[in-house]
Chains A and B, each alone.
Chain A
Amino acid sequence: MNRQALRGAAVSVLAVVLALAASLLVIALTGAPIGKAAAAMWDGVFGSPAQFGATLTKFVPLVLAAIGWVVASRAGRLNVGLEGQILAGGTTAAVVGLYLTGLPTVLHLTIAVLAGAVGGALLGGVAAWLWARRGVNDFIATLLLTLIMTQVVSWLANGPMEEPTGTLGQSSPVADTARWPVLLPRTTLRTDIIMVIIIVLLAAYVLRRTVVGYRLRLTGANADAARATGTRTTVVGVGALCASAAIAGIAGSSLVLAAPAANLAPGFSAGYGFDGIVVALLARNSPLACIPAALLLAALRQGGGLLEARVGISSGLVTATQAVVILLVTGTAWYAERRRSRPRPPGTSDVPAPVAEGVRS
């Protein structure tokens, strides 16, 4: 078990190293000086407290989305609509932050975050209902709902919720009482990162140490066996999808309530929902491993920004570089998964041992 986990970690690290090497190669091919590019990358992440704070700010929604993916996929459900649930949760949080005023900060912020969770869960709940009652594939349902949600947010930001001047295509900032307090002065980092760490630890605990987590893992590992031994697998599946979506919804609330602009703007989810899936793959579906994996992806996002600004590499190329990273990471994870679960050669199903059947290595 431990050996396997170690090997998994090694594979993930290898993927990252390969990905970084590949990125540098792509940069070199454009003729840009590699040394300067690498320095820009480094400065982009660690160059100043502000840069590092920005990295950690990006870490928050990434790790939440990844945990959302982990919760659903451990139960055997594929929630690829995290992006949409982030949008839904951000929207409900913004509504509460904008229109429910006159509350003390503690109360207002709490309600706004919870509203984000509920908003995400509602969208995830639609997909869960379609899956459980109508047999709609969860992958398709969550993905298509994301497309709808993108349009809904765009419409809200340009219509009913637009700021009073009606020219910016986004809402007014939420009330100060609904905003996360700043954690590091002169950075974008806010205190929501503490809540995020608690959510990660809680997810790890629930999965490993509770009956609900056990039934979730069991359902994901073999739904037929789970059902035959008394686990209500449909309930587990619906619950996992909703919980997953609620966590994504909290990520959405942070993207509004902890952002400098603190308002609702089209596309504020910025692909975090999809990158979260990459984080979860890199972390091999372990909640705790999502922390380093999300840090890495956040650093790549942040460092890529400065790469563009300082070395003058076009933004398209930066995106392409990130795509290379993602492909290598997922590819390597897939390869490791395949290696692990590759069927044994036929005719060797029972290793002959002199005494009795033993453990296979």
Chain B
Amino acid sequence: MTVSADTPGDVPADGAAAAALSVRGVTKTYGALVANDAVDLDVRPGEILALLGENGAGKSTLVKVLSGLVNPDAGAVVVDGRTLPPGDPEAARAAGVGVVHQHFMLVPDMTATENVALSQGSRAGRRFDAAGTRARLLELSERHSMPVRPDVPVELLPVGERQRIEILKCLLGDARVLLLDEPSAVLSPVEWDRLAVVLEELASQGLAIVLITHKLGEIAAVADRCTVMRGGKVVATVRVGDTAPEELARMMVGRDVVLRTERPVVAAGPVVLEATGLTMAGYRGDRDLGPVDLTVRAGEVLGVAGVEGNGQSELADLLAGVRTPTTGSVRVTARGGGPGRTGVIAEDRQADGLALPLSVSDNLMMRVVGDEEFSRRGVLRQGRIRRHCTERVESFGVRTAGLETPVESLSGGNQQKIVLARELYGDPDLLIAAQPTRGLDVGAIEFVHAQINAHKTAGGATVLFSAELDEIFALSDRIAVMSGGRIVAVLTADEATRDRVGELMTAVNGAREQVRP
């Protein structure tokens, strides 16, 4: 079938009455922004519906409306034929809407049992039945083959297990509709595959599942139908089997998108980055980082893959020179010899990469303000600064009202472009790119990837840290896999397969995570 990206889609749920969850005309505005614009959506029991959309398409707002956290301006949410009172989370829960939020809603120093008991609601004076809750938790855990440890504080558990606790929490609350907001964001590929199996099984038992995501691959793997949102509106609802990923991407973004960028092949030059014996004591509690040895050559992109929290952030900081290693050294050599310059795309651009209240111009000048070119005897050379910033803004396509606009009023994509425009100025020898596309939409991601490839073609060395395996594979010549604070393997792009990298990512953690209930 053909689906136009501009007309709302046309795969009806087989009779609205049969739907476990129906959304009718939900509209929610924040000031001038229409976050949800007359959104309709249906999920039937036993079905997995993917809700696809870019950041800002209105997915999260819709989830909040469904879970009763946000009161919509118009429209209704119907569960099993009954309309929910708007803006009442307790009623939504009682009606059987279970939500697994992207950021888990667990009390870190409580055990799984306690967290589950907490979610069961409480009545003053009612006794807390720990043994009963624990028994029911374990029974469900076994039935759905979702192993969890009931008696360990959840902060000590791996994210995958915490996610399983969240799901079990919903099931124990007799959820009939399960909403999962970007569930794969915190998982390794192997963990995601396991979760996908669980979701399919839950669906086969009659649960209606809504999977919120912006990753096309996940949809193809598990979803039956897919509702695409853009700019707060539902663009289309399609059967996943009938629709090519390119088609979905086009509907999501509103234009043609290059899903795969061609990786340029550049002859590797001299060694630019040489890190030897890097360690950092106690990078996360009692875990030590390293020792890490790394070499990256000119014209080469080294991708560092790993499940979040295995030392990648810390290694990126060490390589960028933001933190000092306990032992070991980082040497950056310019391509022509001598000490090299490093550009850094910070993992958290708002915390470490930008001064949000300051202007676009001020943010572009951070590294070079003291240079002869831009200041003389301590006085800023206004004209040159203006010309420089205008050139940077134009060549990186930053959309801003002007150079004096505070950076905090720009979108995430434009903020990241400012970071790139600053850090790639003057062709640094080494680029440390930590999660360079986190939180960006497809168009901005395309741009960032193109810039990294351009830096490489120009003969720069790059270390790319990313939680997105697709990104690592698309850009890297070699792939280093981190686990437990160490680099467990370095593979060439030819040797590396998703399965192999996924296995290595969980090599250390995975062993720890094995639980026999």
User: Which A residues contact B (CB, under 8 angstroms)?
Assistant: 1, 4, 209-212, 214-215, 217-218, 221-222, 224-231, 341, 344-354, 356-361
Contacts and interface: CB of A to CB of B under 8 A. Distances in A.
26 contacts: A1-B359, A211-B369, A211-B375, A211-B379, A211-B380, A212-B378, A218-B362, A221-B355, A221-B356, A221-B357, A222-B355, A225-B366, A227-B322, A229-B422, A230-B366, A347-B35, A347-B61, A348-B30, A348-B56, A349-B55, A349-B56, A350-B54, A351-B33, A356-B443, A359-B414, A360-B410
Contact of B439 (A215, A221, A222, A349): A349
Interface residues of B, number: 60
A348 B61 contact: yes
Contacts of B32: 361
Contacts of B411: 349-351, 357-358, 360
A286 to B, nearest CB: 13
B183 to A, nearest CB: 17
B412 A350 contact: yes
B366 A209 contact: no
Contact of B367 (A229, A344, A349, A350): A229
A209 B382 contact: yes
Contact of B409 (A225, A349, A360): A360
Given A221-B355, A346-B60, A347-B59, A211 B33 contact: no
B439 A352 contact: no
Given A225-B355, A347-B58, A348-B56, A359 B380 contact: no
B262 to A, nearest CB: 23
A3 to B, nearest CB: 10
Contacts of A353: 231
B124 interface: no
B351 interface: yes
Nearest to A205: B379
Given A347-B61, A357-B414, A218 B444 contact: no
A226 B413 contact: no
B175 to A, nearest CB: 22
B406 interface: yes
B401 A359 contact: yes
A264 B55 CA distance: 64
B486 interface: no
B367 to A, nearest CB: 5
B444 A357 contact: yes
B430 interface: no
Given A221-B355, A221-B356, A357-B441, A349 B412 contact: yes
A231 B60 CA distance: 38
A214 B410 CA distance: 21
B404 interface: yes
Given A214-B365, A214-B380, A360-B411, A348 B356 contact: no
Contacts of A359: 399-401, 405, 409-410, 414
Q: Which of A221, A226, A354, A358 has the most CB of B within 10 A?
A: A221
Contacts of A4: 406
Interface in B239-259: 254
Contacts of A345: 30, 33, 35, 61
Nearest to B411: A357
Interface of B: 30, 32-33, 35, 54-61, 64, 230-232, 254, 320, 322, 344, 346, 351-359, 362, 365-367, 369-370, 375, 378-380, 382, 399-402, 404-406, 408-414, 422, 439, 441, 443-444
Contacts of A218: 355, 358, 362, 366
Nearest to B358: A221
A218 B355 CA distance: 7
Contacts of A357: 399, 410-414, 441, 443-444
B352 A224 contact: yes
- A interface, over-half SS: loop
A220 to B, nearest CB: 9
6 cross-chain pairs, A with B, having the tightest CB-CB distances, nearest first: A350-B56, A347-B60, A357-B411, A221-B355, A352-B231, A229-B366
A227 B351 CA distance: 12
A356 B443 CA distance: 8
B60 to A, nearest CB: 3
A229 B32 CA distance: 36
Given A211-B380, A351-B56, A217 B367 contact: no
Contacts of A346: 60-61, 64
Given A211-B369, A221-B355, 17 more contacts: A211-B370, A211-B378, A215-B369, A222-B355, A222-B356, A225-B355, A228-B320, A228-B353, A341-B357, A348-B30, A348-B35, A349-B55, A349-B412, A352-B57, A352-B230, A357-B412, A360-B409
Nearest to B346: A228
Nearest to A219: B355
A280 B441 CA distance: 41
B56 A209 contact: no
Contacts of B346: 225, 228
A224 B56 contact: no
A217 B358 contact: yes
A224 B254 CA distance: 37
Contacts of A215: 369
Most buried by B among A209, A229, A347, A359: A347
B323 to A, nearest CB: 10
A210 B378 contact: yes
A1 B404 contact: yes
Nearest to B348: A224
Contacts of B439: 349
B379 A209 contact: yes
Contacts of A210: 375, 378-380
A172 to B, nearest CB: 43
A296 B355 CA distance: 33
Contacts of B354: 222, 225
A210 B439 CA distance: 35
A230 B369 CA distance: 10
Nearest to B59: A347
A147 B443 CA distance: 58
Nearest to A346: B60
Contacts of A222: 351-352, 354-356
Nearest to B53: A352
Contacts of B401: 359
Q: Which of A228, A351, A358 has the most CB of B within 10 A?
A: A228
Nearest to A2: B404
Contacts of A1: 359, 402, 404-406
Nearest to A347: B60
Contacts of B358: 217-218, 221
B6 to A, nearest CB: 11
Contact of A347 (B56, B366, B404): B56
B355 A226 contact: yes
Contacts of B380: 209-211, 214
